[in-house]
Chains A and B, each alone.
Chain A
Amino acid sequence: MTAINSTNTNWHTLCQKDDLVKHSGVCALLDNEQQVAIFLIDNDKAFTISNWDPAGNANVLYRGLIGDEEGEIFVASPLYKERFVLSDGRCLDDESLSVTSYATRIEQGQVQVLV
């Protein structure tokens, strides 16, 4: 829960909702040059995780397929298919892997991320 409780975080607008594609991802750049992958689920929920695939060592996660397993929504990396849970960045296939996840909201058509 560190990301939320930390005092220095703010909501940043990264793009418009229209830039997102349902059940698919786009990539955005944070101010600190970190890349994030933003996914739109069911037309109203957005999730953001780091775009770096720690198994494939490349910035590709936004290009993965979205799916669910027992209600948990994940993206499967396009490189070696490891699945990362969108809400918390856990890897479902390898406990030793994870990615950062960011709180995300859509406010008046703007996609905002807590960084």
Chain B
Amino acid sequence: MSSGTQSKQNVVVVGNGMVGHHFVEQLSQNSNYNITVLCAESRLAYDRVHLSEYFSGKTADDLALTTPENYQQLGVNFHLDAKVITIDKSQKVVTTEQGESYSYDKLVLATGSYPFVPPIPGKEREHCLVYRTIDDLDAIQSSANTGKTGVVVGGGLLGLEAANALKELGLDTHVVEFAPQLMGVQLDQAGGQQLRKMIEELGVTVHTEKATNVIVDGESSVHKMEFADGSHLETDLILFSAGIRPYDNLAREFDLTIGDRGGIVVNNQCQTSDEDIYAIGECALWNNFIFGLVAPGYSMAKAAASHITGGEESFTGADMSTKLKLMGVEVGSIGDAHARTPGALSYTYQNERDNVYKKMVVSQDGKTLLGAVLVGDTSEYDSLLQYALNGIELPENPDALILPSNGGEKPTLGVDSLPDTATICSCLNVTKGDIVAAVEAGATDVGAIKSVTKASTGCGGCSALLKNVAENEFAKRGLEVKKDICSHFVYSRTELFHIIKAEKIKNFDTLIAKHGKGMGCEICKPAVGSILASVYNDYILQDDHLHLQDTNDTYLGNMQKDGTYSVVPRMPGGEVTPEKLIVIGEVAKEYNLYTKVTGGQRIDLFGARVDQLPAIWKRLIDAGMETGHAYGKSLRTVKSCVGSTWCRYGVQDSMSMAIFLEERYKGLRSPHKIKFAVSGCTRECAEAQSKDIGVIATENGWNLYVSGNGGMKPRHGDLFATDLDDATLIKYIDRYLMFYVRMADRLQRTSVWLESLEGGLEYMQKVVKEDHLGINEELERQMDAVVATYQCEWKTTVESPEKLKRFRQFVNSDKQDVNIQFVTEREQIRPATLTEKAAKGLLIETVDVTAVEPA
């Protein structure tokens, strides 16, 4: 521990936004300071970058960057609702609205910025709001509840983010922009056009070159916005998002130097005109520039903390390149996007069919990349950014960098030419030099580099580049790139599959004794468990398989954050009889389970304790239902519309086909979960193209789509075959699925698998349709075997007294886990938050590590 508090310096931080919090984190690593945080908001720092996710289900707790407990642990004093109103520079004291005074040795202003509201008459009307804080969001939410239409004033980055929020809230959304285009700072005109088109396709109406003269009472809505060109727009809610202004009033009032257009002037150490007062983040003006992004703010926080503690880090500007996803539209902007550099030359590529626009701005001699605009596809962003930031010489035909490869070789970034200082992972600030050092220190695979350097453990956007750099370093050292599944086997998943099949190995212990070493781990055990299940389809909880399964498979339910499980009975094609529906309702009521219809047209029952699971299953089984395998890496659901049976437009019986497919493939274990959908006509109500297997009815039969994906990285399926009859459709799906089960890596979705498959879709078509490998008969036989050996795992488990023992909460008591606590929200249960539990005195502290030897 450090010496007494007497010798410690007092550092007072005004503002607890993302940047202020980052500063606290940096400085609290050094125990020589008493840190006091004065926060005007009623809550501690939260993630403002992901604010709009508040409307898609994230809570304030989810967005929180820290907790009171965490600050206490760090020894940071903090005061909420403590707005600072005076600074006494000579006495070095600040005072809050409540009259509390705090003396400082160093003062850090991290007051951020506020949204600019243009001086439009009527702007102060009710339901005219801004988009900045969680409190703003609550106000927007309650306002949206009473209206149908929402307008965002401002078509910049934040404005579009706000429009997304209004859309999430179900409003008919408009964006009104003064300039001729959207995101004028980051995008060129054509890029702005492309973005507009895509956003309009998502149902948001965009109005450009509109200046609002006045806001008055509407006729059919709350407001009427009258524009300078004589047109008008009616709306119930107006959100202003027309840029930010620095919160510099405190500095202004107490005589710190302010820029001509606002902002607290700082030097490279982030000191203001008073050397004991620092300013960081969006309130600070550096080199006549305000940085409205979080990353430069973090760099400032680092520089200020470093200077206070006697370090040498300084802030020397920041790259303003951005890559983001707005309403699902990928947008990237690098450097001189508008080609303003004298002599700059541009290359553009536009593909209207796929909604892609790309531009590169290069120097007059064509050797350096000055800037870029990417709309609709930002896959080249990382490489281009490296070219631009590091001045790497461009290849001879630089346009190849943004052109689609169409089968030809695309020039890859010569990672060799990257300097050691090049930032590879900007989230965690990992340079190429750090990666090289990790390889020199003995890392032989990307996983090892990740765990040493933490690269790619933030947003993950740099993973391709990291792999590229890493493999280049391995190659330079003559290292073979390892595809080993983990340290227990020197084989990939595909190789293990072949070994198990060829040697007819039936359990993990035999496999590891013959071909591996040690006990295995959480990586190889479930992977082998899945392979064994795909090949032999034994009962998953058979004694020699039980210890291989992840908790979901062990307990045949989905573990939720509080350790309870959710239960999903199978409901093929989403079809359910009233009798079964009633039983599901009765079970949910009896066990007080949170009930929700899933995206896959089933009913999910949440909050079941381990000891309740068997009884719940029993009730469902008795009513004729079975497990939906919602827990497994296996077939989940086959979504469907009602098809020609009921629908005016249906051309085939999609319902029967969906049920047939679900019954056929239920229980099939695979490298990852698999979802299907069947649509009865091209209107595609079942959204089949976003599924691993998508079937869409045509006048003549079925079109088969493969390797689509919803989820984190959406991908439309590829059209694999058209106008198939029922038998051929099933045959193709059998072969495709088994080929995937054999070949894919662990946890590799069909979409990623297809993209990594050499030869891609064409190769897969050759294998499945033309029997290019001569294995189709075997693939079909294997699928038939899986289908024939299906069992409902719930039923098998409920019938085995021995297995049921596993569902006791405690081996030595009938009590229940008191940490599982629920509160009621919207008439149903939800898990209590940590704060709610702490209030009941239920939180359990972790205790010291004690080394003991097993007796």
By the criterion CB–CB under 8 Å, are B850 and A3 in contact?
A: yes
**B839 part of interface (Cβ distance < 8 Å):** no
Interface string of A34-60 (1 = CB under 8 A from B): 110010000001110010101011111
Question: In the docked arrangement, what's the CA distance between A84 and B555, Å?
Answer: 21
**B261 part of interface (Cβ distance < 8 Å):** no
By the criterion CB–CB under 8 Å, are B811 and A63 in contact?
A: no
B536-563 residues with Cβ-Cβ distance < 8 A to A are 546-551, 554-555, 559, 561-563
Residues of B close to A71: CB separation below 8 A: 518
Question: In the docked arrangement, what's the CA distance between A98 and B519, Å?
Answer: 22
A43-95 residues with Cβ-Cβ distance < 8 A to B are 45-47, 50, 52, 54, 56-60, 63-71, 73, 76, 78-79, 81, 83, 87-90
Residues of A close to B562: CB separation below 8 A: 58
By the criterion CB–CB under 8 Å, are B519 and A68 in contact?
A: yes
**B147 part of interface (Cβ distance < 8 Å):** no
Residues of B close to A79: CB separation below 8 A: 559, 561, 563
Question: In the docked arrangement, what's the CA distance between A76 and B522, Å?
Answer: 7
By the criterion CB–CB under 8 Å, are A65 and B521 in contact?
A: yes
Residues of A close to B488: CB separation below 8 A: 67
By the criterion CB–CB under 8 Å, are B847 and A100 in contact?
A: yes
By the criterion CB–CB under 8 Å, are B855 and A65 in contact?
A: no
- Max chain B C-beta neighbours (<10 A), residue from A50, A78, A90: A78
By the criterion CB–CB under 8 Å, are A99 and B846 in contact?
A: yes
By the criterion CB–CB under 8 Å, are A104 and B854 in contact?
A: yes
Question: In the docked arrangement, what's the CA distance between A19 and B812, Å?
Answer: 10
Which chain B residue shows the least CB distance to A4? Answer: B852
Question: In the docked arrangement, what's the CA distance between A19 and B852, Å?
Answer: 23
Of A21, A58, A103, A105, which one neighbours B819 at CB under 8 angstroms? A58
User: Contacts A69-B487, A103-B853, A105-B855 known; A63 to B554 CB distance under 8 Å?
Assistant: yes
By the criterion CB–CB under 8 Å, are B547 and A89 in contact?
A: no
Question: In the docked arrangement, what's the CA distance between A110 and B817, Å?
Answer: 24
User: Contacts A46-B854, A59-B817 known; A66 to B519 CB distance under 8 Å?
Assistant: yes
By the criterion CB–CB under 8 Å, are B849 and A98 in contact?
A: yes
Question: In the docked arrangement, what's the CA distance between A68 and B517, Å?
Answer: 10
- Max chain A C-beta neighbours (<10 A), residue from B488, B546, B811: B811
Of A1, A45, A66, A114, which one neighbours B851 at CB under 8 angstroms? A1
Residues of A close to B819: CB separation below 8 A: 52, 58-59
- Max chain A C-beta neighbours (<10 A), residue from B813, B818, B843, B849: B849
**B810 part of interface (Cβ distance < 8 Å):** yes
**B525 part of interface (Cβ distance < 8 Å):** yes
Which chain A residue shows the least CB distance to B818? Answer: A33
Residues of B close to A59: CB separation below 8 A: 563, 817, 819-820
Residues of B close to A47: CB separation below 8 A: 854
Residues of B close to A26: CB separation below 8 A: 808, 811
User: Contacts A15-B812, A29-B815, A105-B854 known; A21 to B846 CB distance under 8 Å?
Assistant: no
Question: In the docked arrangement, what's the CA distance between A27 and B43, Å?
Answer: 38
Residues of B close to A4: CB separation below 8 A: 850, 852
By the criterion CB–CB under 8 Å, are A14 and B852 in contact?
A: no
Question: In the docked arrangement, what's the CA distance between A90 and B852, Å?
Answer: 12
**B848 part of interface (Cβ distance < 8 Å):** yes
Which chain A residue shows the least CB distance to B549? Answer: A65
Question: In the docked arrangement, what's the CA distance between A3 and B561, Å?
Answer: 31
Residues of B close to A87: CB separation below 8 A: 851-854
Of B550, B559, B810, B815, which one neighbours A65 at CB under 8 angstroms? B550
Residues of A close to B849: CB separation below 8 A: 88-90, 98, 100-101
For chain A, what secondary structure do more than half of its interface residues adopt (helix, strand, loop), or is it mixed? strand
What distance in Å separates the Cβ of A79 from its nearest Cβ neighbour in chain B? 7
Interface string of B783-819 (1 = CB under 8 A from A): 0000000000000000000000110111111010111
By the criterion CB–CB under 8 Å, are B844 and A52 in contact?
A: yes
**B371 part of interface (Cβ distance < 8 Å):** no
Which chain A residue shows the least CB distance to B819? Answer: A59
By the criterion CB–CB under 8 Å, are B811 and A57 in contact?
A: no
Residues of A close to B813: CB separation below 8 A: 28-29
What distance in Å separates the Cβ of A105 from its nearest Cβ neighbour in chain B? 3
Which chain A residue shows the least CB distance to B554? Answer: A63
Residues of B close to A103: CB separation below 8 A: 852-855
Of B521, B546, B559, B820, which one neighbours A67 at CB under 8 angstroms? B521
What distance in Å separates the Cβ of B59 from its nearest Cβ neighbour in chain A? 15
Of A52, A69, A78, which one neighbours B559 at CB under 8 angstroms? A78
Residues of A close to B521: CB separation below 8 A: 65, 67-69, 76
Question: In the docked arrangement, what's the CA distance between A51 and B815, Å?
Answer: 15
Which chain A residue shows the least CB distance to B559? Answer: A78
Which chain A residue shows the least CB distance to B814? Answer: A29
By the criterion CB–CB under 8 Å, are B519 and A23 in contact?
A: yes
Question: In the docked arrangement, what's the CA distance between A26 and B488, Å?
Answer: 25
Residues of B close to A88: CB separation below 8 A: 849-852
By the criterion CB–CB under 8 Å, are B850 and A27 in contact?
A: no
**A7 part of interface (Cβ distance < 8 Å):** no
What distance in Å separates the Cβ of B747 from its nearest Cβ neighbour in chain A? 12
By the criterion CB–CB under 8 Å, are A35 and B817 in contact?
A: yes
Residues of A close to B555: CB separation below 8 A: 63
- Max chain A C-beta neighbours (<10 A), residue from B518, B519, B526, B820: B519
What distance in Å separates the Cβ of B758 from its nearest Cβ neighbour in chain A? 31
**B834 part of interface (Cβ distance < 8 Å):** yes
User: Contacts A23-B519, A57-B834, A88-B849 known; A29 to B854 CB distance under 8 Å?
Assistant: no
Question: In the docked arrangement, what's the CA distance between A1 and B520, Å?
Answer: 29
Residues of B close to A14: CB separation below 8 A: 811-812
Of A27, A45, A83, which one neighbours B522 at CB under 8 angstroms? A83
Of A1, A33, A54, which one neighbours B846 at CB under 8 angstroms? A54
What distance in Å separates the Cβ of B70 from its nearest Cβ neighbour in chain A? 11
By the criterion CB–CB under 8 Å, are A24 and B852 in contact?
A: no
Question: In the docked arrangement, what's the CA distance between A83 and B526, Å?
Answer: 15
**A108 part of interface (Cβ distance < 8 Å):** no
User: Contacts A69-B521, A83-B522, A87-B854 known; A27 to B810 CB distance under 8 Å?
Assistant: yes
By the criterion CB–CB under 8 Å, are A27 and B851 in contact?
A: no
By the criterion CB–CB under 8 Å, are B811 and A19 in contact?
A: yes
What distance in Å separates the Cβ of B606 from its nearest Cβ neighbour in chain A? 14
By the criterion CB–CB under 8 Å, are A100 and B850 in contact?
A: yes
Question: In the docked arrangement, what's the CA distance between A23 and B525, Å?
Answer: 11
By the criterion CB–CB under 8 Å, are A2 and B811 in contact?
A: no
Question: In the docked arrangement, what's the CA distance between A100 and B845, Å?
Answer: 10
Question: In the docked arrangement, what's the CA distance between A66 and B520, Å?
Answer: 8
Residues of B close to A21: CB separation below 8 A: 546-547, 806
Which chain B residue shows the least CB distance to A19? Answer: B811
What distance in Å separates the Cβ of B48 from its nearest Cβ neighbour in chain A? 25
Question: In the docked arrangement, what's the CA distance between A4 and B808, Å?
Answer: 30
Residues of A close to B811: CB separation below 8 A: 14-15, 19, 26-28, 38
What distance in Å separates the Cβ of B36 from its nearest Cβ neighbour in chain A? 24
Tell me the B residues contacting A by CB distance below 8 Å: 487-488, 518-523, 525-526, 546-551, 554-555, 559, 561-563, 610, 805-806, 808-813, 815, 817-820, 834, 843-844, 846-855
Task: Return 21 A-B CB contacts under 8 Å, by A number.
Answer: A4-B850, A14-B811, A26-B808, A27-B811, A33-B818, A34-B844, A50-B847, A52-B819, A59-B820, A60-B559, A60-B563, A65-B549, A67-B520, A79-B561, A87-B853, A89-B850, A98-B846, A100-B849, A101-B852, A103-B853, A105-B855
Question: Which 7 pairs of residues, A with B, have the shortest CB-CB distance?
Answer: A67-B521, A105-B855, A78-B551, A76-B522, A58-B563, A23-B547, A15-B811
| Contacts beyond the supplied A29-B812, A83-B522, A100-B847: 17 A-B pairs with Cβ under 8 Å | A19-B805, A21-B546, A26-B808, A34-B844, A45-B854, A58-B563, A58-B819, A59-B819, A63-B554, A63-B559, A63-B563, A67-B522, A68-B518, A69-B487, A100-B846, A104-B854, A105-B854
